[in-house]
Structure 1
Amino acid sequence: MPQIRELDDENEKKPKKDPAKVAQEMDEDLDRFMEELAANKARNPGPKKEFDFDEWAKELDSHPAFMNDLKPNESGEYSEAIQALQALKYDDENDPKDSAERYKLEGNKHFKFKKYRWAIDCYTNGIKAMCSDRQMNAVLYANRAAAQVRLGNKRSAIKDCVMARKFDAHHHKALLRGAECLLDLGYAAQCLKWIATCDWSNADQDISEKVEEVRRAAETKRAVEERDARKQKIRMEKDKKEKTKLLAALKARGMQFRPKIHFDDVNLFEWSDMQVELPQLDEHAHVYVGDGDALYWPLLLQYPEFAQTDFVKDSCESTPIEDILAKVLSTPAPWDVHHRYRLDNIRVFFGDEYMNQVISVPLKSTLGDVLRSEQMTIEHGLPVLQVYPVDYVNSHFECVHGNVWKTK
Structure 2
Amino acid sequence: MASSALQDDSDDGMDEFMDKFKTQKYENAFSESNWEKEFEKVPMFMKTAPDEINPETHPDLACLQSIIHDDDRPPEEQAQCLKDEGNEYFKEKDYKKAILTYTTGLKKNCSDQDINTVLLTNRAAAHFHLGNMRSALNDAVAAKKIKPDHLKALIRGAQCCMELRNFAEAIQWCDAGLKLHPTDKKLQELRAAADKQKRAAERDARKAKAKEKKDHSEREALLAAIKERGVKLLQPEKPPQHGSDSEDEDGGSAAGVAELSLDGLSSQEATGARVFMDEQGSLQWPVLFLYPEHQQSDFISAFSDSSCFIDHLAVMFGEELPPWDTDSKYLPQNLQLFFEDEEKETLYQVDPETSLLKALQHKRCFVKAGTPSFIVLVKGSSFWKQFLTGKKTQRL
Task: Give matches, 1:91-110, under 5 Å.
Answer: 91-110=70-89
Task: Please state how far the C-alpha of 1:238 moved relative to its aligned partner.
Answer: 0.8
For 2:217, which of 235, 241, 262 is the aligned residue?
241
Any idea what the Cα deviations from partners look like across 1:361-406, whole Å, max 9, x if unmatched? Answer: 23343322333445444333222212111122235423644519xx
Q: Which runs of 4+ in 1 moved over 4 A?
A: 50-64, 78-88, 260-266, 352-357, 399-402
Conserved in 1, the CA contact under 8 Å of 2:334 and 2:379? yes
Structure 2 residue aligned with 1:397, among 377, 388, 391? 388
The C-alpha deviation readout for 1:341-376, integer Å capped at 9, x for no partner, is 233322112345677664322334332233344544
Task: Say if 1:182 and 1:188, in contact at 8 Å, map to a contact too.
Answer: yes
1:140 equivalent in alignment to 2:133: no
Distance in 1 of aligned mates of 2:79 and 2:269 = 64
For residues 118 and 318 of structure 2, what CA distance do their matches in structure 1 show? 82
Task: Show structure 2 runs of 5+ residues with no match.
Answer: 1-26, 239-256
* 1:21-47 CA-partner distances (Å, limit 9, x unpaired): xxxxxxxxxxxxxxxxxxxxxxxxxxx
Q: Secondary structure at the match of 1:340?
A: coil
In 1, are the aligned partners of 2:106 and 2:116 still within 8 Å (CA)? Answer: yes
The one of 346, 349, 364 equivalent to 2:338 is: 349
Matched residue type, 2:376: V
Aligned to 1:274: 267
Distance (whole Å) between structure 2 residues aligned to residue 361 and residue 122 of structure 1? 79
User: Contact conserved, 1:255 with 1:371, CA < 8 A, in 2?
Assistant: no
Q: Are 2:236 and 1:258 equivalent residues in the alignment?
A: yes
- Give distance in 2, aligned partners of 1:396 and 1:311: 22
Q: Give yes or no for the alignment of 1:158 onto 2:134.
A: no
User: 1:114-263 to 2 correspondence within 5 Å?
Assistant: 114-198=93-177, 200-201=179-180, 203=181, 205=183, 208-251=184-227, 252-259=230-237, 263=259
If the length of structure 2 is used for normalisation, what is the TM-score? 0.71
| Distance apart, 1:222 and its partner CA | 1.9
Task: Report deviation, 1:258.
Answer: 1.6
Matched to 1:123, the amino acid is Y
Q: Deviations over 1:237-282 (max 9, x none)?
A: 111112222333344533334235864665xx496x221645xxxx
Q: Choose the corresponding residue for 1:365, options 351, 354, 359.
A: 354
2:316 is aligned to 328
How far off is 1:227 after superposition? 1.6
The yes-or-no answer on 1:294 pairing with 2:282 is: yes
1:345 alignment partner AA: N
Answering whether residue 291 of structure 2 is matched by residue 303 of structure 1, we say yes
Tell me, in whole angstroms, the C-alpha distance in 1 between the residues paired with 2:216 and 2:331. Answer: 43
CA distance in structure 2 between the aligned counterparts of 1:262 and 1:196, rounded to whole angstroms: 55
CA distance in 2, matches of 1:354, 1:187: 54
Evaluate the alpha carbon distance shift between residue 148 and residue 123 of structure 1 in structure 2; reply closer, same or farther with a 3 A threshold.
same
Match of 2:214, as an amino acid?
K
- C-alpha contact 1:296 1:314 (8 A) present in aligned 2: yes
Distance in 2 of aligned mates of 1:51 and 1:95: 40
Residue pair 2:155, 2:187 contacting (<8 A) in 1 also:
yes
- Aligned partner letter, 2:91: K
| TM norm structure 1 | 0.69
In 2: Cα distance, 1:262 partner to 1:192 partner: 50
Answer whether contact 2:345 2:392 (CA < 8 A) is retained. no
- Kindly provide the CA deviation profile for residues 16-71 of structure 1, in whole angstroms up to 9, marking residues without a partner as x: xxxxxxxxxxxxxxxxxxxxxxxxxxxxxxxx9x998867997998999x996443
Asked whether the 8 Å contact 2:285–2:305 carries over to 1, the reply is yes
Aligned residues: 340
Structure 1's unaligned 5+ residue stretches are 1-47, 73-77, 279-283
3-state SS, counterpart of residue 380 of structure 2? helix
Alpha-carbon offset, residue 165 of structure 1: 0.5
Alpha carbons of structure 1 residues 332 and 105: separation in structure 2 relative to 1, 3 Å: closer
What do you get for the CA RMSD once the two structures are aligned?
3.8
* Inter-partner Cα distance in structure 2 for 1:364 and 1:325: 10
C-alpha deviations, 1:133-182, integer Å up to 9, x for none? Answer: 33222111111122233334344322221111011101012211221332
* C-alpha distance in structure 1 between counterparts of 2:278 and 2:68, whole Å: 79
DSSP 3-state at the match of 1:403: strand
The CA distance in 1 between the partners of 2:124 and 2:264, in whole Å, is 43
State the partner residue of 2:372. Answer: 383
Q: Is the 8 A contact 1:169 1:199 kept in 2?
A: no
User: Is the CA contact 2:345–2:391 (under 8 Å) kept in the aligned structure 1?
Assistant: no
- Give the match's secondary structure for 1:305: coil
